[in-house]
Amino acid sequence: MQSEFAVIDNQFNSIAAANGVDDANNKIQTTLNYFETPDIPVLIIISQNGGFNDYDRPTTITKFLNYLKDKKAYKYRVESAKKNSSGKITELELITK
Amino acid sequence: MKRIALALIILASFGVSGLFAQELSPERKQAIDSLALEKVRDLSKYISIIGSKETPWSEANRVIDRAEELFMQGSEIGVSSLARPEISYYTVRKYFERLMRLNYNKVEISWYNIEYVSDLQKQPDGTYVGVITIFQKFKGYDAEGRLVYQDTTKKDITVYVKRKETQIGGRLIGFWDVLLGDIRVKETTR
């Protein structure tokens, strides 16, 4: 069964697998359309224990997308997303695979 | 009066045991161990991008900013060469700017055998401190594509992991902040 966030996960994977810097930058611009602003917060869960989450240092969606471009790997999946009335994501939570 | 004193002693004892109860479970400790290792791998990638002559100027500068965010303020990075015995230490920004301007036509930098040489240990202020060792292979080529310099350097990186909190969307989020400290050269070989 596909996750409700499969579209976002696929976008992130496509940036990580981009064919060079220009291709990655074009994909980043396309992906940013899913988000309310380029600065929405991204939280990354590094472990879960008894309903308690441990997070990495919070980042922004622009920094995170550039991180995927630099690392050429997407080792997370979307855990949750908050959206505004226009359906744009205002806060994203990822979890380490 | 004696009963009140006894009650206070018992309460204090529970307070102390409560502190010990805050020690990390093996699973959470493993997660922050992995997080710190991943930050060092991030740095490895950033160094490779900044050093590469194929990286556009604007991209290299953006990556320098990201790489700088990995470090504690005031940290230094050691640089060695087979051509001279001394080791030079530069501030993080200066190191990356020198790396970007190295006088070769092509530069290849790779890190391998990234592992803990000293496990993360909790300090009295709650910060976890450890040392990660890496091996760096450096290759510099001239305009004709000839390999004109190469070395392998073993380096030790001090890592600091501290629990912090920040407000996001009206919620208090606790997170583990990993910061890299000094990078010390241990040995340089051909």
User: Is the Cβ of B56 closer than 8 Å to some Cβ of chain A?
Assistant: yes
Q: Does B139 touch chain A (CB under 8 A)?
A: no
Q: How many domains does chain A have?
A: 1
Give the CATH architecture of domain B25-189. Answer: Roll (3.10)
Domain membership flag for residue A67: yes
Q: Is residue A74 part of a domain?
A: yes
Domain range enclosing A48: 6-96
Best residue of B175, B177, B178 to probe chain A, by most A CBs closer than 10 Å: B175
- Which of A40, A46, A75 is most worth mutating to test chain B (most B CB atoms within 10 A of its CB)? A46
A29 inside domain: yes
ipTM of the complex: 0.94
Reduce the DSSP state of residue B10 to 3 states and report it.
Answer: helix
Q: How far is CA B93 from CA A4, B36, B180, in A?
A: 42, 21, 14
Does A67 sit within 8 Å of B66, measured CB to CB?
A: yes
pLDDT tens digits along B121-164: 999 999 999 999 999 999 999 999 999 999 999 999 999 999 99
| Residue A37 in domain | yes
How confident is the model over B159-185, as pLDDT tens digits? 999 999 999 989 999 999 999 999 999
- The three-class DSSP label of residue B57 is helix
A23 touches chain B (CB under 8 A): no
Q: Which of B27, B49, B176 lies at the smallest CB-CB distance from A49?
A: B27
Is the pLDDT assigned to residue B2 strictly greater than 70? no
Of the partner residues B42, B56, B169, the one whose CB lies closest to the CB of residue A71: B42
Query: In this structure, is residue A44 part of a structural domain?
Result: yes
Q: Exposed, middle or buried: residue B143 (CB in 10 Å: 0-12, 13-18, 19+)?
A: exposed
Report if residue A91 sits inside a domain. yes
Question: Looking at the domain assignment, is residue A1 inside a domain?
Answer: no
Asked if A54 lies within 8 A of B25 by C-beta distance, the reply is no
